[in-house]
Amino acid sequence: MSQQRPRGSRPSVSLPNTGTMGAVVAVVALVLGFLILRDVRNDGGSTVTPGTNTDQPSDTAAPADPNDATPTTPPPFNRGSFKIQVANSSGIAGSAGTMTTNLQAVNFVVQPALNVAPGTPKRAKTGVFYLAGCEQAAADVVSVLGGNVDTGAMPSPVPLETGSLGEACVLVLLGQDLSNKPLPGVTGTPNGGAATTTVPPAG
């Protein structure tokens, strides 16, 4: 008669306490969070946000405004770049020489004064005439003469006693209005550095 061997009893496994397990998980999460935070602080700000290129320099200069209407001061006109011829058309003796001296005093290059060709009518009003390419030079002369003068292209033939302008490209036919008078467009003493040119208003 066979005897049955008593079955060995398995050791009982105790299940962990749910409250204890939760506490352990919380502690582990806290430790991991501390370690991650420490690594970020020790990173020195070198963390690169995805999608950014740190090798490209940042351009902080503001682009030029195409609508900027700030006026710019033009460079001073070079009065030594052309020559003027003054001719006496007023009938007042010596007036062309005086005008030549006055224009030289404000840095114009002026050839020796002449008379107009015989038979040329006397002028009551001064005229300034110019060759092609000397329009800006003539405008500067007109401003110094006060602006109230006749202007136009150089007449042909040139109404001078010599029949030639020489090296001049601007001709001043001096009329009775400006004969033996100071330059209306200049104030102060030209050679003393205090002279200024008064530009007449447009129109």
Reading the block at residue 176, the tokens are 């009775």
Domains of the chain: 83-197 (3.30.70.2390)
CA within 13 Å, CB half, 99: 33
**Nearest CA-CA partner of 142 in 154, 124, 123, 126:** 126
Which residues of the chain are modeled with pLDDT < 50? 189-203
Instruction: Please tell me the predicted confidence (pLDDT) of residue 52.
Output: 54
Q: Helix H segments across 61-134?
A: 95-105
Reading the block at residue 178, the tokens are 């400006």
Reading the block at residue 99, the tokens are 């005008």
Dist. CA 178–CA 145, nearest whole Å:
8
Instruction: Please tell me the predicted confidence (pLDDT) of residue 191.
Output: 42
